[in-house]
């Protein structure tokens, strides 16, 4: 996808990539550790010997340069001088302060220009190949969830539940989780990102599972909340409100709509039901090589949705000392609506 850097290279003499996802997206190299230097005429990928073979196989359009111990900046500096780079775009959101100082000290004088947001923006609209990976990743999550459902029972710990979800995803082709699995129960479900521990599932608990895997580098993300045993009237009301809000958010998603419009549709349903103070986070986020990327579906987001963007729709209601519900699907924006990648019911499950 290095061709996507054309506009940026119109404003810079070179682009300097250091994050695993940028390296993967723009060079093809999936090893995670390396530096890419892309000039107007030449493209270099610097790696150490652990990655040389993979880099040569994957980054076909790049000149792969293997650096030895302590020679990285020297090798990069030589090419920067050759390419006469005076203005260099880099990923300010992805580089540690220590690395930044190290590169500045070791490399020829250049003006460093932060381009993180622009680079992330280039990854918003997915190609068909990326969509295939995202569909597969999400289906692995759905299949794992369906395999784990019959195992959920009173006395099981949250850690066991999380482990089962991860195991079932791995067996189905997951390369690893896309974020730390959330499998929480009872009052703990009032914490949107609570962490599983050795708490046992109890009768009447809400059980929230928010999890995902990676497939060909692409992330999946989904959330379902179930009730262990019979749901109380209050649990039903909270669940149905979140379900309606999720549907309202989804129904707003289509090309031409701003992120904040979709967020507003879902938020209004929750506010109208009297739970407005219990939905603090955004409606959703972009997903791709990173679990959280652009565009955001937040009250602030004026990003206009385009076909091929992949976003989550995940409203929730979280009431301290009672519990919470979140329902999350991952969808691909289309001209007139969306393709739901999470092919799974959202009816309340009483297990």
Which C-beta is closer to Mn ion: that of 74 or that of 193? 193
Q: Give the binding range for Mn ion (CB under 5 A) out of 139-147, 246-254, 261-269, 306-314.
A: 306-314
Minimum CB separation of residue 66 from Mn ion in Å reads: 38
Nearest CA-CA partner of 262 in 288, 214, 298: 298
Which C-beta is closer to Mn ion: that of 205 or that of 221? 221
Site for Mn ion in 106-135 (CB under 5 A): none
Minimum CB separation of residue 135 from Mn ion in Å reads: 17
Minimum CB separation of residue 285 from Mn ion in Å reads: 6
The DSSP-derived string for 116-147 is HHHHHHTTSBPPHHHHHHHHHHHHHHHHHHHH
Minimum CB separation of residue 22 from Mn ion in Å reads: 21
Q: Give the binding range for Mn ion (CB under 5 A) out of 34-42, 179-187, 217-225, 243-251.
A: 217-225
Site for Mn ion in 177-206 (CB under 5 A): none
- Residue 342: CB partners within 8 Å, gap ≥ 6? 138, 141, 142, 222, 328, 329, 330, 331
Which C-beta is closer to Mn ion: that of 170 or that of 292? 292
Q: Give the binding range for Mn ion (CB under 5 A) out of 10-18, 221-229, 242-250, 300-308.
A: 221-229
Q: How, if at all, do strands 206-211 and 182-185 pair? A: antiparallel
Minimum CB separation of residue 36 from Mn ion in Å reads: 29
# chain residues binding Mn ion, by CB under 5 A: 2
8 A C-beta contact, residue 125 and residue 299: no
Which C-beta is closer to Mn ion: that of 174 or that of 312? 312
Which C-beta is closer to Mn ion: that of 79 or that of 224? 224
Minimum CB separation of residue 328 from Mn ion in Å reads: 5
Give CA separation, 328 vs 61, 84, 264, 273, 345, in Å: 38, 49, 16, 19, 11
Minimum CB separation of residue 128 from Mn ion in Å reads: 23
DSSP reduced 3-state for 335: coil
Minimum CB separation of residue 97 from Mn ion in Å reads: 29
Which two tokens mark 233? 């009237």
Q: Give the binding range for Mn ion (CB under 5 A) out of 103-111, 127-135, 215-223, 260-268.
A: 215-223
Site for Mn ion in 309-338 (CB under 5 A): 312
208 is an interface residue for Mn ion by CB under 5 A = no
Minimum CB separation of residue 284 from Mn ion in Å reads: 7
Q: Please, is 88 exposed, middle or buried when counting C-beta atoms within 10 Å of its C-beta (0-12, 13-18, 19+)?
A: buried
* Torsion, CA 122, CA 126, CA 127, CA 130, rounded to 10: 120
263 is an interface residue for Mn ion by CB under 5 A = no
221 is an interface residue for Mn ion by CB under 5 A = yes
Q: Can you list the pairs that 53-61 forms with residues at least 24 positions away whose Cβ atoms lie under 8 Å?
A: 54/29, 54/30, 55/29, 55/31, 58/27, 58/28, 58/29, 58/30, 58/31, 59/27, 59/28, 59/29, 60/28, 61/2, 61/27, 61/28
Which C-beta is closer to Mn ion: that of 221 or that of 263? 221
Which C-beta is closer to Mn ion: that of 34 or that of 141? 141
Which C-beta is closer to Mn ion: that of 56 or that of 281? 281
CA 33, CA 21: separation in Å to the nearest integer? 10
The DSSP-derived string for 185-241 is EGGGGGSTT----SPBP-TT-EEEEEE-BEETTEE--EEEEEESSSPPHHHHHHHHH
Residue ranges in contact with Mn ion by CB under 5 A: 221, 312
């Amino acid at each position: 996808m290095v061709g996507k850097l054309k506009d940026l290279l119109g404003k810079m003499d070179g682009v300097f990539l250091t994050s695993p996802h940028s390296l993967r997206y723009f060079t093809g190299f999936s090893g995670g550790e390396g530096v890419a230097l892309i000039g107007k005429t030449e493209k270099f990928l610097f790696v150490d010997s652990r990655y040389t073979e993979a880099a040569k196989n994957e980054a076909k359009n790049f000149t792969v340069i293997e650096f030895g111990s302590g020679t990285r900046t020297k090798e990069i500096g030589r090419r920067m001088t050759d390419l006469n780079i005076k203005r260099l775009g880099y990923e300010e959101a992805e580089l540690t302060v220590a690395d930044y100082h190290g590169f500045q000290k070791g490399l020829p004088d250049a003006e460093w220009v932060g381009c993180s947001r622009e680079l992330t923006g280039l990854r918003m609209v997915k190609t068909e190949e990326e969509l295939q990976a995202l569909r597969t990743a999400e289906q692995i999550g759905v299949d794992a969830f369906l395999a784990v459902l019959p195992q959920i029972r009173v006395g099981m710990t949250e850690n066991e539940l999380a482990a089962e979800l991860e195991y079932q995803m791995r067996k189905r082709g997951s390369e690893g989780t896309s974020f730390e699995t959330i499998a929480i129960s009872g009052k703990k479900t009032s914490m949107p990102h609570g962490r599983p521990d050795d708490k046992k599932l109890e009768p009447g608990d809400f059980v929230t599972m928010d999890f995902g895997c990676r497939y060909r580098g692409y992330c999946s993300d989904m959330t379902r909340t179930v009730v262990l045993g019979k749901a109380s009237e209050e649990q039903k009301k909270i669940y149905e409100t979140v379900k309606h809000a999720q549907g309202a958010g989804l129904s707003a998603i289509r090309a031409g709509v701003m992120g904040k419009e979709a967020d507003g549709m879902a938020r209004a349903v929750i506010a109208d039901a009297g739970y407005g103070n219990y939905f603090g986070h955004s409606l959703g986020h972009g997903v791709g090589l990173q679990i959280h990327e652009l565009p955001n579906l937040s009250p602030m987001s004026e990003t206009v949705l385009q076909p091929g963007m992949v976003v989550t729709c995940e409203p929730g209601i979280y009431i301290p000392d009672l519990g919470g519900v979140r329902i999350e699907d991952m969808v691909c924006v289309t001209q007139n609506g969306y393709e739901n990648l999470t092919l799974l019911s959202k009816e309340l499950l009483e297990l």
